[in-house]
Amino acid sequence: MIESFFNIPNIDFYLVIGILFFFCLLETFYGHWHQSKRKKSDWIQELGGYAVLGIFIKPLLVMTVLWVGHFLFPSGQGFLSGNSIFFNLLLYLFIDDFLQYWYHRLAHEKPFLWKLHRPHHQAEEMGFFVSYRNAMLYYFLMPNIWWVGFITFLGGGKAVALGLVLKQLIIVSSHSTVKYDAALYQNKLLQPFILVWERIFITPAFHHAHHGKSRRDGISDPNGNFGNMFSIWDQLFGTATFSHQFPTKYGLENDPKETWKAAYFYPFIKSKKIESELHKDFQKNPTKSNKPILVDVLQGEKYLWCKCGRSKNQPFCDSSHHGTSHKPVLFEAQKSRKLRLCNCKLTKNPPYCDDSHKTI
């Protein structure tokens, strides 16, 4: 029955639009659109990004794979078509999500990919449409879209259609401002369900933490929680944080707010703002001094110690670690006093200096 349902032409497209529409209605019903501070450039990036991806980029990449496969590997065509739709669905989803976990993680750890992905993190509000704001080139390089073409060529087209709908449900709900899991964490009866569910699937709390502005709030982890549909990869590769709470601030610290043109068309159009990562001359320079720095801290205050060595506000983090594999170290001052913090970044007892700089 499911197979014949997914025989209906373009049914996956209509269902995906239906899911977006449903979350749009939910967010409107709860008054989130009314309070939204979204600007015109946010709308252009989100609506425009979605339209170009769906109408142009995805069909182009999938058709390219089908065309190349047809000419170069004709014997592979339909190789999976004898399998059940559920087998092909699992095959599609697990490979897709594994690829996306690593692509997304590298987009946070490699400078060039980070510049293509950072528009996604410039959003200062969550919402069902936020998932679609990335630079155009980000989508051309996305391995999942190529994988959709490949598995469709192998005969898994119906499984892909079903998988895209399921993925969309998880992705849109995890970006939405309607947080279905928030009430479940508070409800004693339903809590066991959400605690098991979050170990398999991405929840709003898990993904909102990824969009939080800074680790300083003790909830956000902008350099973790990279999963897309399943949280298993984050747990397996040590990047998962389950805080069960929601950040109060979203977006990027020290964001120079580029135009939508620079954000969407980078590297073909660069930012004119010299302080922007998308400016042609922008560079992150390592700290010049290795000597420890004495700082005054206040009891009960939380601080982020810079681990990457690129902050201009040493020894504290200024978010320059985006595009590297480092993340800052959060610590709370137990008393108001002076602390000797590491600046060579070699200490084995971060954030404190352990004299490792003397070995350089």
Q: Does 314 bind ligand FES (CB under 6 A)?
A: no
Q: Does 342 bind ligand FES (CB under 6 A)?
A: no
Using the minimum distance from each CB to ligand FES, give the nearer residue, 83 or 241.
241
- Whether 333 and 300 have beta carbons less than 8 Å apart is answered as yes
Q: Tell me: cis bond preceding 315? Omega within 30 of 0 counts.
A: yes
Q: Does 344 bind ligand FES (CB under 6 A)?
A: no
Q: Whole-number minimum distance, CB 281 to ligand FES, in Å?
A: 20
Using only C-alpha atoms, the chain has a radius of gyration, in whole angstroms, of 22
Q: Tell me: cis bond preceding 351? Omega within 30 of 0 counts.
A: yes
- Indicate the residue whose CB is closest to ligand FES: 317
Torsions phi, psi for 246 (to 5 deg): -120, 135
Using the minimum distance from each CB to ligand FES, give the nearer residue, 216 or 273.
216
Using the minimum distance from each CB to ligand FES, give the nearer residue, 185 or 282.
282
Interface with ligand FES in residues 233-262 (CB under 6 A):
none
Q: Does 310 bind ligand FES (CB under 6 A)?
A: yes
Among 177, 311, 343, 347, indicate the residue that binds ligand FES (CB under 6 A).
311
Q: Whole-number minimum distance, CB 318 to ligand FES, in Å?
A: 5
In which residue are the tokens 């992905």 written?
Answer: 117
Angstrom distances, CA of residue 153 to CA of 147, 162, 248: 10, 16, 44
| 71: Cβ contacts below 8 Å, ≥ 6 apart | none
Q: How far apart are CA 107 and CA 102, in angstroms?
A: 8
DSSP for 255-270, written as a single string: -----HHHHHHTTTS-
Interface with ligand FES in residues 45-74 (CB under 6 A):
none
Among 62, 321, 342, 351, indicate the residue that binds ligand FES (CB under 6 A).
321
Burial of 55 (0-12, 13-18, 19+ CB in 10 A): exposed
Q: Whole-number minimum distance, CB 95 to ligand FES, in Å?
A: 33
Q: Helices in the chain by DSSP H: which ranges?
A: 2-5, 11-29, 32-35, 40-43, 49-52, 58-72, 85-109, 111-121, 136-140, 143-153, 157-175, 180-186, 191-197, 204-211, 232-236, 260-265
Using the minimum distance from each CB to ligand FES, give the nearer residue, 152 or 343.
343
Binding mask 277-306 for ligand FES (x = CB under 6 A): -----------------------------x
| 210: Cβ contacts below 8 Å, ≥ 6 apart | 220, 221, 222, 224, 225, 226
Q: Whole-number minimum distance, CB 357 to ligand FES, in Å?
A: 17
Using the minimum distance from each CB to ligand FES, give the nearer residue, 149 or 222.
222
Q: How far apart are CA 17 and CA 26, in angstroms?
A: 14
Using the minimum distance from each CB to ligand FES, give the nearer residue, 62 or 341.
341
Interacting span for ligand FES (CB under 6 A) from 15-23, 53-61, 261-269, 320-328: 320-328
Using the minimum distance from each CB to ligand FES, give the nearer residue, 127 or 222.
222
Q: Whole-number minimum distance, CB 310 to ligand FES, in Å?
A: 5
Q: Does 320 bind ligand FES (CB under 6 A)?
A: yes
Q: Whole-number minimum distance, CB 322 to ligand FES, in Å?
A: 8
Residue ranges in contact with ligand FES by CB under 6 A? 306-308, 310-311, 317-321, 326, 328
